[in-house]
């Protein structure tokens, strides 16, 4: 690793966020999904138009993590009406912490989590919550070790496949 830094992403960063989002999601989940379901999910959720709309939403904040000039992951957090499930005024949702597989286990995800925590505290939120696939034991352990506890479940659709996510929350 050259020099890891985190920068806030804006509407000019559509292609960076789109590319790193597609790559990290594919790396993490292609082996567990059909090619058709992956293609549909990636096309629907990582198009330039969709990412531009997300980057422009006032309730969403993105950060990209860089190794020198190379983007290696990103964070998306949501507040209030941008949240996907709870939409509680006093909570912050971590919608995505995605890191390239080559950088997993190197504290890059932890840095992004700490950025989310910093944002939540700066906005005077009383809790952080997220959804994590029930079969993603590595991510579940990561969040558990950072103080999150499961409180509910919801369906997360990858293409046509309905998968179950644990909803996890940490009180601040």
Q: What is the pLDDT along the chain (172 residues), one digit of tens a residue?
A: 678 999 999 999 999 999 999 999 999 999 999 999 999 999 999 999 999 999 999 999 999 999 999 999 999 999 988 898 888 899 999 999 999 999 999 999 999 999 999 999 999 999 999 999 999 999 999 999 999 999 999 999 999 999 999 999 999 9
**Residues, the chain:** 172
Q: What is the pTM of this model?
A: 0.94
In a domain, 46, yes or no: yes
In a domain, 62, yes or no: yes
Q: Structural domain of residue 25, as residue ranges?
A: 4-126
In a domain, 145, yes or no: no
Q: List, for residues 94-132, the tens digit of each pLDDT value.
A: 999 999 999 999 999 999 999 999 999 999 999 999 999
Active site residue 143: yes
pLDDT of residue 1: 65
In a domain, 148, yes or no: no
In a domain, 141, yes or no: no
In a domain, 20, yes or no: yes
Mean model confidence pLDDT for the chain: 96
pLDDT of residue 57: 95
What gap in Å lies between CA 105 and CA 154, rounded to an integer? Answer: 27
**Catalytic residue, candidates 41, 98, 113, 143:** 143
User: Which CATH number characterizes residue 79's domain?
Assistant: 3.40.630.30
Contact 60, 100 (CB under 8 A): no
Domain count, the chain: 1
Contact 42, 27 (CB under 8 A): no
Which residues face 144 on adjacent strands?
A: none
In DSSP notation, 125-143 reads -SEEEEEEETT-HHHHHHH
Strands 161-171 and 149-158: antiparallel
In a domain, 132, yes or no: no
Tokens standing for residue 158: 């990858």
In a domain, 151, yes or no: no
């Amino acid at each position: 690793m050259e020099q890891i830094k985190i920068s806030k992403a804006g509407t000019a960063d559509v292609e960076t966020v789109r590319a790193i989002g597609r790559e990290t999601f594919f790396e993490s989940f292609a082996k567990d999904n059909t090619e058709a379901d992956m293609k549909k999910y990636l096309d629907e959720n990582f198009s330039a138009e969709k990412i531009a709309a997300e980057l422009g939403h006032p309730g969403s904040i993105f950060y990209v993590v860089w190794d020198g000039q190379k983007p290696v992951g990103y964070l998306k957090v949501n507040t209030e009406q941008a949240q996907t499930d709870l939409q509680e005024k006093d909570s912050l949702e971590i919608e995505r912490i995605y890191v390239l597989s080559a950088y997993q286990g190197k504290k890059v995800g932890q840095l992004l989590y700490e950025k989310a925590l910093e944002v939540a505290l700066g906005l005077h939120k009383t809790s952080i919550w997220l959804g994590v696939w029930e079969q993603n034991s590595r991510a579940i352990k990561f969040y558990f070790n950072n103080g999150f506890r499961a409180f509910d479940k919801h369906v997360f659709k990858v293409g046509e496949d309905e998968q179950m996510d644990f909803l996890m929350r940490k009180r601040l």
